[in-house]
């Protein structure tokens, strides 16, 4: 149980440090359509013939990661083109920004809605103590610099204790001033008697032993053991700050419908599955918001989103697949913004299901997937193949020598036979329209499984909507929340996660032991070795597999200046959103 205390303490404060910014490079990209894959899926055998002609064993990457041990590397961003014609003029009167999205979350509680569609909209409603500056560094949208935000400074007092000094000018949307008591309340809500909807957000702060509000401007966190990435935790998913008074007045359910934050925009209207309307919070400490209104409109079908943008009904659309880019690039008033995500598409297997209990069958499923072919045909070579469940952003914890996941259909056939597979249908559950190219990937992968003797089918239903005992293969994604294995891998596959609760119990106890050891030490070399050993066990037991790191494409009207981030966050703060005529 986390203990909560309030103490008095005088602390030195300093002015907020300036944030570094860099301008986007200018470049247009050409793309081809994915007709090859669509045609081969329809023909079935043609696709698998192409797969069989490829050399077996470890595939060479279509797009690869090359960061070395001891270095920090970000994914390559593909900035949009500059406007054609004369130099644009900044619009003085604030316009309305209309955004076409494939979906909205069921509510707006930032600690409940940690999904792609959730964080996209809550990011501009709430703030953090300290913030990751995605616009810093050589590749805008991929920056890693941590900067003061609601807290004007922070310092580590020892290996266990971090103290934050708050700004004095931060106001919630209802006009009340943010104090250390609100920060205290935010973490009380997460860590004391945690309700089920907040368990995932609470898991990001499982290292926290105690939080103390020292006075109105100073807050102190004490961890259970040395936490090498605490600053990253507090600036990432789950770290959004809430007002005690408004929350206690409204209660959990009503607050989730009508939330109050400190961000640049406040909620004016919310109709789940239809629209979200935001209005400017003109007392925002980060500067006056640049739009008079933000309208997120749900347009589930990509063709309808593209049509709406071209027709001038919206100004920006999300989740654009590669085959739609040529159509949009022909429009003179539209440009494409593209960026590799700090996210990977994965499959998760229900190891508790009788058909999938034998790890040899799960290994066969993984070996049958020709990821290189799918990246080339689905993504036009733009998605990034992975060296197991690793991101370059891990820096010194990233193993450049770890092989890419192999494609070996012959070995897969042998494992199917050895597993005693009885011919039962394996269902691949995919939520239609949720992941870019998710439906196409599902159809192609099922064809590959059929080629090794598996009876498989795509079931267009979200796995979370099925009873646990009926789930078999679920399409999923893992975000690199903390630029560290702790945030990308362990928070999704480790003990206490939904994965180990509902999908997989590691046969080898060393998996959980290694994971817990690496998160309790500041020794980076030990963490590297422990993580690599845990990956070995994960690949051997095959509770799932990574597919690729997707490239996210946005199409945007040329009069709007906005940079996408390597997370699904849609940052609409004044330093990242402006309008030109």
Nearest to 295 by CA among 579, 572, 553: 572
Say if residue 425 is exposed, middle or buried (CB neighbours under 10 Å; 0-12, 13-18, 19+).
exposed
The Cα 299–Cα 317 span in angstroms is: 9
pLDDT of residue 139: 85
pLDDT of residue 455: 98
Could you give the residue ranges of the DSSP H alpha helices within 286-429? 302-310, 325-329, 359-367, 371-378, 409-419
Pairing of β 316-317 and β 96-101: parallel
The set of residues, in sequence order, having a beta carbon less than 8 Å from that of 202 and lying 6+ positions away, is 190, 191, 194, 238
The Cα 39–Cα 501 span in angstroms is: 40
Which H or E run contains 253? helix 244-257
pLDDT tens readout for residues 73-93: 323 333 333 333 445 676 778
Low-confidence ranges of the chain (pLDDT < 70): 1-88, 90
Quick one: residue 57, left, alpha or beta (phi over 0 = left, psi -120 to 50 = alpha)?
left
Nearest to 252 by CA among 184, 171, 185: 185
Given CATH 3.90.75.20, say whether it is the number of domain 35-69+341-551. no
The Cα 245–Cα 247 span in angstroms is: 6
Over the chain, what is the mean pLDDT?
86
The set of residues, in sequence order, having a beta carbon less than 8 Å from that of 126 and lying 6+ positions away, is 110, 240, 241, 242, 259, 261, 262, 263
Asked if residue 334 lies in contact with residue 325, where contact means CB atoms within 8 angstroms, the answer is: no
Separation in Å, CA 497 to CA 121, 130, 345, 491: 25, 26, 18, 7
Per-residue tokens: 495: 């003990």
Largest CA distance in the chain: 73
The Cα 579–Cα 167 span in angstroms is: 29
The set of residues, in sequence order, having a beta carbon less than 8 Å from that of 188 and lying 6+ positions away, is 2, 4, 211
Per-residue tokens: 200: 């995932």
pLDDT of residue 278: 98
Sign of torsion over alpha carbons 459, 462, 466, 470: positive
pLDDT of residue 87: 55
The Cα 179–Cα 271 span in angstroms is: 31
Q: Which residues pair with 409 in a beta bridge?
A: none
Edge-to-edge strands, sheet with 456-459 = 456-459, 426-429, 473-479, 343-349, 544-548
User: What is the three-class DSSP state of 93?
Assistant: coil
Task: For the chain, state the CA radius of gyration.
Answer: 24
The Cα 387–Cα 364 span in angstroms is: 18
User: What is the three-class DSSP state of 27?
Assistant: coil
pLDDT tens readout for residues 48-58: 334 433 333 33
Asked if residue 552 lies in contact with residue 319, where contact means CB atoms within 8 angstroms, the answer is: yes
Measured distance between the N- and C-terminal CA atoms of the chain, rounded to whole angstroms: 56
Instruction: Indicate the DSSP class of residue 219.
Output: E
Residue ranges per structural domain of the chain: 35-69+341-551, 103-296
Asked if residue 183 lies in contact with residue 239, where contact means CB atoms within 8 angstroms, the answer is: no
pTM of the model: 0.75
Instruction: Indicate the DSSP class of residue 276.
Output: E
Asked if residue 336 lies in contact with residue 325, where contact means CB atoms within 8 angstroms, the answer is: yes
pLDDT of residue 102: 94
- What is the CATH architecture of 103-296? 3-Layer(aba) Sandwich (3.40)
- CB-CB neighbours of 29 under 10 Å: 17
User: What is the three-class DSSP state of 212?
Assistant: strand
Asked if residue 58 lies in contact with residue 254, where contact means CB atoms within 8 angstroms, the answer is: no
The Cα 148–Cα 164 span in angstroms is: 10
pLDDT tens readout for residues 418-435: 999 999 999 999 988 888
Buried b (16+ CB within 10 A) or exposed e, 539-558: bebbbbbbbbbbbbbbbbbb
Per-residue tokens: 269: 């209207």
| Counts of helices then strands in the chain (DSSP H, E) | 18, 23
């Amino acid at each position: 149980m986390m203990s909560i205390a309030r103490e008095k303490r005088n602390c030195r404060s300093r002015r907020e440090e300036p944030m570094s910014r860099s301008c986007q490079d200018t470049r247009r990209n050409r793309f081809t359509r994915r007709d090859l894959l669509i045609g081969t899926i329809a023909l079935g055998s043609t696709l698998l013939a192409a797969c069989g002609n490829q050399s077996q064993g470890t595939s060479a990457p279509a797009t690869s990661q090359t960061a070395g041990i001891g270095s920090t590397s970000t994914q390559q961003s593909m900035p949009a083109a500059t406007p054609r014609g004369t130099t644009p003029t900044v619009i003085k009167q604030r316009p309305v920004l209309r955004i076409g999205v494939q979906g909205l979350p069921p509510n707006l509680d930032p600690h409940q809605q940690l999904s792609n569609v959730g964080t996209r909209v809550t990011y501009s409603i709430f703030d953090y103590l300290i913030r990751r500056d995605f616009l810093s560094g050589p590749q805008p949208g991929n920056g890693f610099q941590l900067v003061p935000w609601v807290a004007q400074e922070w310092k580590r007092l020892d290996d266990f204790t971090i103290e934050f000094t708050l700004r004095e000018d931060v106001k919630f949307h209802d006009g009340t001033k943010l104090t250390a008591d609100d920060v205290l309340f935010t973490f009380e809500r997460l860590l004391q008697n945690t309700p089920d909807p907040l368990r995932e957000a609470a898991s990001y702060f499982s290292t926290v032993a105690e939080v103390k509000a020292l006075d109105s401007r100073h807050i102190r966190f004490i961890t259970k053991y040395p936490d090498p990435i605490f600053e990253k935790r507090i600036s990432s998913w789950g770290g959004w700050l809430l007002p005690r008074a408004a929350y206690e007045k409204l209660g959990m359910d009503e607050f989730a419908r009508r939330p109050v934050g400190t961000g640049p925009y406040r909620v004016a209207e919310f109709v789940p599955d239809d629209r979200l309307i935001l209005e400017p919070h003109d007392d925002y400490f980060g500067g006056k918001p640049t739009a008079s209104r933000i309208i997120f409109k749900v347009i589930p079908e990509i063709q309808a989103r593209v049509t709406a943008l071209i027709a001038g009904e919206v100004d920006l659309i999300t989740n654009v697949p590669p085959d739609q880019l040529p159509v949009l690039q022909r429009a003179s008033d539209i440009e494409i913004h593209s960026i590799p995500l700090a996210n990977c598409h994965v499959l998760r297997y229900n190891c508790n299901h009788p058909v999938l209990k034998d790890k040899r069958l799960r290994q066969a499923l993984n070996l049958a997937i020709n990821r290189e072919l799918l990246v080339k045909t689905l993504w036009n070579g733009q998605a990034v193949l992975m060296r197991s469940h690793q991101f370059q952003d891990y820096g010194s914890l990233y193993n450049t020598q770890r092989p890419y996941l192999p494609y070996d259909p012959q070995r897969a056939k042998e494992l199917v036979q050895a597993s005693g597979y009885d011919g039962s249908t394996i269902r691949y559950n995919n939520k239609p329209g949720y992941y870019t190219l998710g439906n196409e990937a599902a159809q192609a992968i099922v064809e590959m499984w059929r080629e090794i003797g598996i009876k498989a089918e795509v079931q267009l239903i979200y796995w979370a909507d099925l009873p646990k005992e009926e789930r078999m293969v679920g399409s999923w994604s893992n975000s690199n929340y903390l630029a560290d294995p702790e945030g990308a891998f362990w928070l999704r596959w480790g003990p206490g996660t939904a994965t180990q609760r509902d999908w997989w119990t590691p046969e080898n106890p060393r998996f959980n032991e290694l994971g817990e050891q690496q998160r309790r030490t500041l020794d980076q070399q030990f963490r590297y070795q422990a993580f690599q050993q845990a990956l070995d066990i994960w690949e051997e037991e095959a509770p799932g597999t990574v597919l690729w790191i997707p490239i996210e494409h946005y199409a945007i009207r040329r009069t709007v200046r906005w940079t996408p981030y390597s997370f699904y966050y849609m940052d609409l703060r004044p330093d990242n959103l402006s309008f030109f005529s």
